[in-house]
Structure 1
Amino acid sequence: MNIADWLRDLGLQSYEAAFRDNGIDLDVLPRLTVDDLREIGVRAVGHRRKIIDAAARLPRRHIAARAAPSPERRQLTLMFVDLVGSTDLSRRVDPEELREIMRAYLDTVAEEIAGFDGHIAKFLGDGALAYFGWPRASEDAAERAVRAGLAVARAVRGVLAAAGHLLEPRVGIATGLVVVGDLLGEGASKEETVTGETPNLAARLQQAAEPGTVVIAESTRRLVGDLFELAGLGALQLKGFDEPVQAWRVVGEGRAESRFEALHGAHVTPLVGRDAELDLMLSRWQLAETGAGQVILISGEAGIGKSRLVLALRERLKARPIRIVSYACSPHHANSPLFPFLSELERTARFTPDDGPERRLRRLEKLLAEDGGERPGEILALFADLLGIPNVSQSAVRDLSPQQRKALLFRTLMVRLERIAAAGPILMVLEDAHWLDPTSRELFDQIVNRLRGLSVLLVATFRPDFAPPWAGLSHVALTTLNRLPEVQVLALIDQITDGHALPE
């Protein structure tokens, strides 16, 4: 079998040229992600799902021969998924119906894990084992695993409920050092395995989880910081572990303003060697205070200190009566329209995971009333619809065309910005602009032009591969953070270690 035959079997032969032009063969196929498929032009959701599902089921005997990978020692995040109640279900339904139910369940698990760049190592009856951070390493493997776990719990519950079965999965996640890549078994039954304590820990946490929940180990919790809201489960006595194990249940998204705050909290490194950049930001702030809005673009590679510099500016301005508005982009929402704006709205309205629709609607109504504005009923209906809050008055905006809705939304957000700026100067922060969704980027085009006459300083951070369309405007300054010289690196290390000497 080759890739052309495989696509023809799926009825998707129209993508043969796209797969060929992008070097995708049967060896690459099992590691394709949803983002990969979008990039090569597979636009239809149904087609992407069909490809991901079929790739996950592809027998190894059909994969092109390749050299066996060398075993690697590396940090890995592992996920175990199990379906609660499947044994009882097997006694109540016909085997053919059970087969369809299990196929829908496993297909859903495979798609959600693949959507977060996870690698399905094996299916174990009604369960699955997945790796995050292998075969392709990623800086946010632990975060991807947790997001995938939440997505699996949500999607499986929906798929099975639609089929009339109230079954739920449970998920266990752990991170640690393993040896991965050993091939065990013979012929078509060969599989890549991991060895170490981490797989056992993830499996035991899955067994300890309540139906429909995701439980993570301390090792994973340290890596995700406050990106998620967690409920402590205390020290669990798990089979095979001599000492009790600390564990947490994942409740939902965290409420930190930015990824930097969520991942670092109060534990930030000292600011060293960025005096010139900080002086530039403070001088532009002084201009913005007079009503001459300014924009500062901060470019730099991952981890070089962009967010730390923004934090330093906030620390210098914290004694002043200003309002800070933070927009945080996410690699997992780069195609979610207006994600940074809707997230900021939810934070400002103080939504919590326990809020029901009525309470969320009341909180939103209160926020919009505080910000002022015309046609409050129509605006409330618009934002309620965007945030997925049921509202009887939503019909007033649902009759609008997509273009009319976008124009009303942009106009409303601009008026809101103007009203807030009229009450006092604003520091607006746009974190990780390289992950902006297209609609948000269009809205920021308008904001950058409009704030010339407002008391607003917009600071946007991004990685070098992003080309901001606002560079070159008279009120926009661009600064690039380069690596620190050795003398400043040594000064930074000295502060971090509190003066304790380290080996050269």
Structure 2
Amino acid sequence: MTSKRRLSLALLGACEVRIDGHPVQAVTYVRMRALLAYLAVERERDHPRADLAAMLWPGNDHVTARGNLRRTLADLRRTLETPLGMTLFIASKDAIRLVPAFSIDVRDFVGGGARNVREALPDEAAIALYRGEFLAGLSLPDCPQFEEWVSMHREALHCHALALLERLWRRYSMAGNYGEALRFVLRHAELEPWDEDVHRQAMLLYARNGQKSAALEQYAICRRMLREELASSPSKETEQLAERIRNGEWNASLPVQVQGQNPSGSSPPPQAERRPVTVLYCELIPAETEDPDEAAQVLGPPRERCLEIIRRHSGYVASTHGGGLLAYFGYPRADENAARHAVRAALAITRAAAPEIEIRVGIHSGLVIAGGQPDLPDAVGRTSKLAARLRHSAAKNQVSISQQTRHVVAGYFDCISLGLQHVSGFSQPLEVFRVNGETGARTRLDGVERLTPLFGRQAEIEKLLALWQEARNGSRQFLCIRGEPGIGKTRLVRALIERIEGDSDAVCELRCFPEFEQSPFHPVIAMIEARLGFPRTDTPEDKFRKLSAHFETRYRKSAPIAVPLLARLLSIALQGNYRAPPASPQKQKEQIIALLLDQLNTPPSEKPALLIVEDLHWIDPSSLELLHRFIERKDGRPVFAVFTHRPEFVAPWMPRGVSILDIAPLTERDARQMIASISGQVPAATARLIVESSDGVPLFIEEMTKLARTDNSVGIPPTLHDLLAARIDRLGSAKYTAQLAATLGREFDLTLLGKVFPKERGNLQEALRALREAGLTLELNASTQQFKHALIREAAYQSQTKADIQAAHQRVAEVLMREFPDVVASRPEQLAQHLSASGQTRLAIEYWTKAGQRAAQYSAHAEAIKNFNNGLRLLPGLQPGSNRDLMEFNILVNLCPSLYAAVGYGSEEATRANARLAVLADLVGDAPDLFQAKWAVVMNTIANAGSRDVPPRAMHLLHNAGDDPLRRQAAHYAVADAAFWLGKFEVARAHTEESLTFYRSTQHQDLLARFGEDLSVSCAAYLAWAYHFLGHAERARLICDKMLGRARELDHPHTLALALCFASVLHRWMDDRENTLILSTETIEVSRKYGFSVWLAAGEMTHGWALARHGRHEGIAELDSSVAGMKKAIGGISVVFLSALAEAYFHLALYDRSLATVEAAKREAARTGDGHFSAELCRIEGECLLATSAKNAPRAKACFNQARSISRAQGAKSLELLVEASMARMR
């Protein structure tokens, strides 16, 4: 007996495949290794062939790519399965899965192959597996999706290796085993050569191990690496440690860490968190010199200038080694203008470059994990690394930025693409941009080429124009436009300026910015400089000449006083005969305010002035005082002054003499129009998500739509990261509360929040009050609050690390199960969400299933489908086997009825679910729900493919129903359903009547739970139809009325929609146009309310028919819509829809179209076996032929004869009578 052969796969380092320890050389070509690696790592789920082909052969067409995949899979099978003598690849027509019958180093390395903690490898054994980076040397540059997957795993596994190594060298170091500690710290330095802290630890360990020369050699390695990699020098702390080792003082206490000099009052966040930042790396290269002392002396002053510029632009300097500066913008406090500050700082640095220094700057924006170390805001280092590498793409005294940064600052700066560049350490080429300078844009709207049209603001525009008219009539009008960020305050002002263009000789705009809140008169100074035309190249002399010329030309009398005052305000030295008037600083301020007031109130003409002051919430105190006096002044020129600000700002003049215009969010209709104007290509489902997530804020709508236009995702756009993070950061200590509340959801229960809130975090009520005062949350009632915007909630949630998120969700799940059993029972989806996010997969699946079942009970089928699908998505996280198969089977059995109700019995989603259900039915044995599963498959087959091959399977159901009354009802119903569409009306009648004998009113809830509808109503509906075709019209009408009454009593929307649909179709066949119209209208209303697509299509079909029967041509459009809906929802019974359209064309005298539709219906009948209306299709064809021309009488007669023959064979007396009437009219 031979032992089983063993396959092992090593992906850490170069890809290696071994069987019984021997290398398999035949896994030769790159895509073969790539496919094997991908399936091995992602081995616990099915992978659609289409997705794999698109990922590995993106440049090929669909057919070629699928062929390449098929050949590659065949090569892998021949190479691995044949020598192993076992099946590794489970492949179906549509998907491929790799069975976990082998060992893989990646899973052992991260502990993923262990069933519990005890089975996990020890740290030393785990790190021994890390031979190098994930799939080293394997690259497919033309496969971006695969490359991104590799890059993501490389980064995660690299970080895991570093964590293991640090744990090991710290453990051995604390135990005094410095030799073993060195082994791991040197490996750490090898993997992360620019981490100076690790080099320092190696130096210290060498010294403690008695290896002084090795310690100093490590210092030399560190110095050389920093110079070559970062163009920098070791930090003061490293220099001091090296000096102590030379002097034999290494065991003395280490020097205090030297931190970058940052603005006073700034302190880094105390806990690890995810945050958006923009990283600036500046390299300063002195003239060639080998003397380090000389280089340091040359670099000193330029470096200080760079530090001062970075600080001035709100940057945080984390590292200042030698010729390298690493700075972060948006850290330690988020800044909504972080990226712009970083690029402006970089340009200022290049402008200030000394001739003897060469400067290159790289900038990148992204998310970082920020911890508690102030000099290490980017704990992972990937974002910082890219900024540092980008400076290699910059020429002398130039700035290079990443595509991500360019996306955020577009419009503010003139950026030129340098094309795709290969950046060291990054697998994919990246697009890099050179920044040539600023465009002059000061706001987002200044920087866009085309403004998005204004929607939903007509009333606001009318108010603005009314106030402007008052100013034109000679009055002074003041208005505050108040609204939250992004609501459209500036856009509204721009619309006003556009509408009054040419109607005012003076439009004066003042803009306030957060970085100048403490700069006296800054908005006024900026406005004056803009009016006088001061470019950056102007010398002080040029500026004074322009200032004096302006006043000497226009205001000669006031020039002797005005010019010195404004020169002081603009920080320009006086020249010529001008002298500054002697006055104290306070007196000078009063004189400046008086001068500015005179300027604002001096009319250049009879026309009124328009004064715009934007973002008043950032105004400096001196400018605010100026505006206050301007408003209080009763005389002066006619003016309309418009101020914009956020809700939290309260002006000192409020509310005296100043109107308030609060800007509300856009309505759903306006939001949808705005989305369509930005991009007509956004799918309807994505547009709906944008409307829901944006909460009517125009900026959110615009940026989310632009993001969706490129990748169909709906998340936080990069352009909004900084804005939202800044609002969260301003909460201070209440930020943790926002994060925890965000973990609960957009709407959060205060009692639950109180239970999970750690007591050591302070006063919860004070934190909640801070959230409300910041405008981030709303109080819905005494026990519930809500985040004002979905994106604010998302930003707070995403600011946590993944570990913190998982821990928070776990705490919430534990509290819910322990203390809120009523919530768990009534809203199981709430617990399921927290279980999913905390990694408790099996329990999460159980509660997602319960949530789906509960939603389905209340006809909330869209929610039920979502809940069931959430459970299905978690299944790959479980070990393969019978238990997982049974869980999937149970979910699908419950999912199918909801799919039938919401998207249709024959929909693509229902067909896909039933196909999987059929496979699982053979695997789960005698599962309790096996009958329901096979019943669901039969119903889907009828609706999707037609009834031709169904009767044997339906009879098999009946044979297996046993004595269970519910199963017998369902089986008879399935037989009757198939029989009716096949035109076997007597069989349908017999089985529906037999089914109804088993029904008891007490079975209602059980029927809904098992089959999704009350089968007494469904069977009665088919019984009424069968009696109609068999020629018993009154009995059919009576059964229909009772069936509809029963459906109304049950108060179950899906059953009611079904009943209304069947009733309206019956009345259509009876040519009762009035009742058809009434019933179809109600069908449509119920279906739209509850999202029943199949019944909506049927309601439109009968409604359109009734309209056409009244001679109204608009019925055709509704019928066309119903046919389109039918094709998606229930294509197996298409004839009933097409026949209605054919009849409508006939009654509207559109005979050619009717004939074409009859032919289409006959083709569908042949495809599906649908024969219920074959006789009537022949009759309609004959009637159309006669109506077209009397010469067609022979052909028409043949049609009628065929119709009579079919109807007699079917026993369809009602159809036979219609044929006899048509033939009588011929005679």
Aligned-partner Cα distance in 2 for 1:482–1:431: 18
Aligned-partner Cα distance in 2 for 1:399–1:299: 42
- Give the structure with the larger helix fraction: 2
What are the within-5 Å matches in structure 2 for residues 355-434 of structure 1?
355-372=538-555, 374-393=557-576, 396-397=579-580, 399-420=582-603, 422-434=605-617
Q: Does 1:133 align with 2:324?
A: no
1:302 alignment partner, SS class = coil
Whose Rg is larger? 2
What are the within-5 Å matches in structure 2 for residues 39-118 of structure 1?
69=272, 72=274, 76-85=277-286, 88=289, 90=291, 93=294, 98=296, 109=306, 112-114=309-311, 116-118=313-315
**Percent of pairs with identical residues:** 28
1:246 alignment partner, SS class = strand
Aligned-partner Cα distance in 2 for 1:177–1:375: 53
- Give the CA deviation at 1:352: 1.4
- Give the CA deviation at 1:403: 2.5
Q: Is the contact between residue 262 and residue 311 of structure 2 (CA under 8 Å) also seen in structure 1?
A: yes
Aligned-partner Cα distance in 2 for 1:281–1:175: 41
Q: Does 1:174 align with 2:363?
A: yes
- Give the CA deviation at 1:222: 3.9
Which of 270, 278, 281 aligns to 2:461? It is: 278
Which of 480, 483, 492 aligns to 2:674? It is: 492
Q: Which stretch shows the higher mean deviation, 421-430 or 298-307?
A: 421-430
User: What residue is the counterpart of 2:1177 in the other structure?
Assistant: none
Aligned-partner Cα distance in 1 for 2:569–2:403: 35
Aligned-partner Cα distance in 2 for 1:396–1:416: 21
User: What residue is the counterpart of 1:210 in the other structure?
Assistant: 396
Q: Is the contact between residue 362 and residue 390 of structure 2 (CA under 8 Å) also seen in structure 1?
A: no
Aligned-partner Cα distance in 1 for 2:417–2:560: 43
Which of 431, 436, 443 aligns to 1:249? It is: 436
Deviations 1:440-496 (A, max 9, x none): 11111121123664221000001112111122223x101111222323322322322
Which of 536, 558, 574 aligns to 1:353? It is: 536
Higher RCO (CA 8 Å, separation ≥ 6 residues)? 1
1:397 alignment partner, SS class = coil
Deviations 1:74-116 (A, max 9, x none): 75422001223176394574x9xx47x7677666655654554
Which of 121, 135, 144 aligns to 2:341? It is: 144
Which of 254, 259, 272 aligns to 2:443? It is: 259
**Taking structure 1 as reference, are residues 238 and 386 closer, same or farther at Cα in structure 2, changes over 3 Å only?**
farther
Aligned-partner Cα distance in 1 for 2:601–2:376: 64
**Taking structure 1 as reference, are residues 33 and 275 closer, same or farther at Cα in structure 2, changes over 3 Å only?**
farther
Aligned-partner Cα distance in 2 for 1:108–1:222: 28
Q: Is the contact between residue 381 and residue 393 of structure 1 (CA under 8 Å) also seen in structure 2?
A: no
User: What residue is the counterpart of 2:382 in the other structure?
Assistant: 195
Aligned-partner Cα distance in 1 for 2:588–2:419: 50
What are the within-5 Å matches in structure 2 for residues 460-475 of structure 1?
460-474=643-657
User: What residue is the counterpart of 2:838 in the other structure?
Assistant: none
> How many corresponding residue pairs?
425
Which of 211, 224, 229 aligns to 2:409? It is: 224
User: What residue is the counterpart of 2:625 in the other structure?
Assistant: 442
Q: Is the contact between residue 316 and residue 329 of structure 2 (CA under 8 Å) also seen in structure 1?
A: yes
Aligned-partner Cα distance in 2 for 1:127–1:296: 50
- Give the CA deviation at 1:121: 4.1
Return the letter of the residue paired with 1:246.
Answer: F
Aligned-partner Cα distance in 1 for 2:291–2:605: 65
What RMSD in Å do the two structures reach over aligned CA positions?
3.9
Aligned-partner Cα distance in 2 for 1:437–1:206: 40
- Give the structure with the larger strand fraction: 1
Return the letter of the residue paired with 2:281.
Answer: F
- Give the CA deviation at 1:225: 4.0
Aligned-partner Cα distance in 2 for 1:378–1:288: 31
Q: Is the contact between residue 82 and residue 206 of structure 1 (CA under 8 Å) also seen in structure 2?
A: no
Q: Is the contact between residue 560 and residue 578 of structure 2 (CA under 8 Å) also seen in structure 1?
A: no
Q: Is the contact between residue 215 and residue 249 of structure 1 (CA under 8 Å) also seen in structure 2?
A: no
- Give the CA deviation at 1:274: 1.9
- Give the CA deviation at 1:379: 2.0
Q: Is the contact between residue 81 and residue 129 of structure 1 (CA under 8 Å) also seen in structure 2?
A: yes
Return the letter of the residue paired with 2:389.
Answer: A
- Give the CA deviation at 1:351: 1.6
User: What residue is the counterpart of 2:475 in the other structure?
Assistant: 292
Any stretches of 5+ residues in structure 1 without a counterpart? 1-28, 38-51, 57-62
- Give the CA deviation at 1:126: 2.3
Q: Is the contact between residue 260 and residue 319 of structure 2 (CA under 8 Å) also seen in structure 1?
A: no
**Taking structure 1 as reference, are residues 349 and 233 closer, same or farther at Cα in structure 2, changes over 3 Å only?**
farther
Q: Is the contact between residue 79 and residue 171 of structure 1 (CA under 8 Å) also seen in structure 2?
A: no
- Give the CA deviation at 1:317: 0.8
User: What residue is the counterpart of 1:479 in the other structure?
Assistant: 661
User: What residue is the counterpart of 2:737 in the other structure?
Assistant: none
Q: Is the contact between residue 234 and residue 248 of structure 1 (CA under 8 Å) also seen in structure 2?
A: no
- Give the CA deviation at 1:190: 11
Aligned-partner Cα distance in 2 for 1:284–1:235: 51
2:474 alignment partner, SS class = coil
- TM-score between the two structures when normalised by the length of structure 2: 0.32
1:383 alignment partner, SS class = helix
Aligned-partner Cα distance in 1 for 2:290–2:597: 54
**Taking structure 1 as reference, are residues 244 and 482 closer, same or farther at Cα in structure 2, changes over 3 Å only?**
closer
**Taking structure 1 as reference, are residues 296 and 189 closer, same or farther at Cα in structure 2, changes over 3 Å only?**
closer
Q: Does 1:336 align with 2:522?
A: no
Q: Is the contact between residue 411 and residue 444 of structure 2 (CA under 8 Å) also seen in structure 1?
A: no
Aligned-partner Cα distance in 2 for 1:169–1:499: 47
User: What residue is the counterpart of 1:315 in the other structure?
Assistant: 498
Return the letter of the residue paired with 1:331.
Answer: P
Return the letter of the residue paired with 1:79.
Answer: L
Aligned-partner Cα distance in 1 for 2:648–2:290: 51
Return the letter of the residue paired with 2:343.
Answer: V
Q: Is the contact between residue 299 and residue 464 of structure 1 (CA under 8 Å) also seen in structure 2?
A: yes
Any stretches of 5+ residues in structure 2 without a counterpart? 1-257, 689-1227
Aligned-partner Cα distance in 2 for 1:114–1:88: 29
Q: Is the contact between residue 121 and residue 193 of structure 1 (CA under 8 Å) also seen in structure 2?
A: no
What are the within-5 Å matches in structure 2 for residues 13-32 of structure 1?
none
User: What residue is the counterpart of 1:26 in the other structure?
Assistant: none
2:359 alignment partner, SS class = strand
User: What residue is the counterpart of 2:684 in the other structure?
Assistant: 502
- Give the CA deviation at 1:349: 1.2
Q: Which stretch shows the higher mean deviation, 281-290 or 103-112?
A: 103-112
Q: Is the contact between residue 217 and residue 247 of structure 1 (CA under 8 Å) also seen in structure 2?
A: no
1:88 alignment partner, SS class = coil
**Taking structure 1 as reference, are residues 179 and 385 closer, same or farther at Cα in structure 2, changes over 3 Å only?**
closer
1:396 alignment partner, SS class = coil
